[in-house]
Structure 1
């Protein structure tokens, strides 16, 4: 079934999920929408996040997707169940897979979660982790400056390292062995985060585990595609800036990047 998988995010962060999809499911067509013009979602009221998420999902539904990945932790926390209720295709979020991967990796069941204001406020990771392991300890930290760094394409800069170091200071008084990158933008800062913790913590991105869920559903429902097609990317923001990050992060020369408005 060569219909595309739809992937949505508040901006470029979901490209971390697309990268894993392309690695593990190279034959799957992908249509991506990044809502850069209204990013970040983290500080926004829940009603706005739900509205913006629905804008993207409706557009992808009209394009004939066979499955949706909400590759945004804030949107997953706020809109996942409503999207599942309104649409017939399978819908996967990134929080449950991230929680599952962290619990597999942790030896102490003490986990730090780095997220947006919206994700941390929702306590979605706390709930997902405690549902799987009630005695686990969760330390959540909002990192509101991380998404703008990534969206501006500054994730490799010395300034990014300074902001990461300053933001993560409050975690030094806590005990944990595993860190969840609870926003799909954050893997683009992973080197800085690993360096901050002196390579002493297990760093978990939900992307790999999410793709495992995607593959499992596609197999069960016999929807795997058989012929590779290059992905199509839509952005509500500046096409040129989005294209540069796609080229850098996904190593795609001249990616098909288009603009979309809501």
Structure 2
């Protein structure tokens, strides 16, 4: 048994969708969440910069005692997964990511073999989902970048005319390709499922990485005997939320999405800014 917390890292507040799923599936586990709001969005950055920012954030979670790391950001996964697994594997700390679980779920969900992927520009350029789905027979993947979605969510805008118009534009090539499944390749995007579902219609299923990633986290903790020891009667898990930038929207959306689990968001100094030497 290992009573250290689960560390969850994201470029901002989108990874709260993953944190929510982890808390629901593993209610006995402590969680530390770090959102790099000072450097968000990651999707428009060079992958080399995203890699540096991601490793710096994961380093901080390790310093805070995380027993397992969850990269709750598709762009960060695409940029830094291999390096992260090499770096923290040497310390005996497993690393969970969001791309593979979502790809597997998408492959299991599609009925006509046409899967759409909405992601940040960096995630789409990386080809992470194309690689993850390459071995699946009879599957065609249609990708499109949806860069404004992260900006909307980080500002707390999840409905409205501007969001709907942007969604209509981003979804157009996927609808034209007759996809029956759309993978939301960014953990910010599930906060826009109302608009996306309405535009896509009932015949298209949305796939998010949150539940699948929480399942992968649970399996890893079981396999490595890292589950938290049984708690005493009345004892609750502890949740800590950190942000590298001042963001009233972060606190508001965190409470809206996670509810009473969020007692406050701690603002911490950025671990790194793009352009700095490591």
TM range (shorter): over 0.9
Instruction: Please give the secondary structure, in 2, of the residue aligned with 1:103.
Output: helix
Matched, 1:168 2:198: no
Distance in 2 (alpha carbons) for counterparts of 1:234 and 1:215: 23
Paired with 1:185 and 1:38, the residues of 2 have a C-alpha distance of 15
For residue 235 of structure 1, the aligned residue among 230, 233, 243 is 243
Partner residue of 1:125? 129
Shift of 1:254: 5.3
C-alpha distance in 2 between matches for 1:43 and 1:205: 21
For the aligned residue pairs, the C-alpha RMSD in angstroms reads: 1.3
Is 1:258 aligned with 2:262? no
How far residue 220 of structure 1 moved from its aligned partner, in angstroms, is 1.2
1:253 Cα deviation after fit: 6.3
Contact 1:231 1:256 in 2 (8 A): no
Dislocated runs of 4+, deviation >6 Å: none
CA contact (8 A) 2:105 2:212 kept: yes
Q: In the TM superposition, what is the alpha-carbon distance from 1:134 to its structure 2 partner?
A: 3.8
CA contact (8 A) 2:37 2:247 kept: no
Q: How many residues align?
A: 261
Match of 2:257 in 1: 249
* Structure 2 residue aligned with 1:97: 101
| Partner deviation per Cα, 1:19-50 (whole Å, 9 max, x = no partner) | 10111111111101101111110110111101
Work out the CA distance in 2 between the residues paired with 1:214 and 1:10: 19
Give, in angstroms, the shift of residue 161 of structure 1.
2.1
For 1:223, the equivalent position in structure 2 comes to 226
Q: Is the 8 A contact 2:4 2:67 kept in 1?
A: yes
Counterparts in 2 of 1:254 and 1:15: CA distance versus 1, 3 Å = closer
TM-score, normalised with respect to structure 1: 0.96
Q: What is the deviation of 1:158?
A: 3.8
Structure 1 segment 1-262 matched on structure 2, within 5 A: 1-87=2-88, 88=91, 89-131=93-135, 133-225=136-228, 226-227=230-231, 228-252=236-260, 255-261=263-269, 262=271
Q: TM-score, structure 2 length as denominator? A: 0.90
Gaps of 5+ in 2: 272-278
CA drift at 1:241: 2.4
Q: Secondary structure at the match of 2:62?
A: helix
Q: Which residue of 1 aligns with 2:275?
A: none
Aligned-partner Cα distance in 2 for 1:15–1:199: 26
User: How far is 1:135 from its partner?
Assistant: 3.0
Which SS does the other structure have where 1:252 is aligned?
A: helix
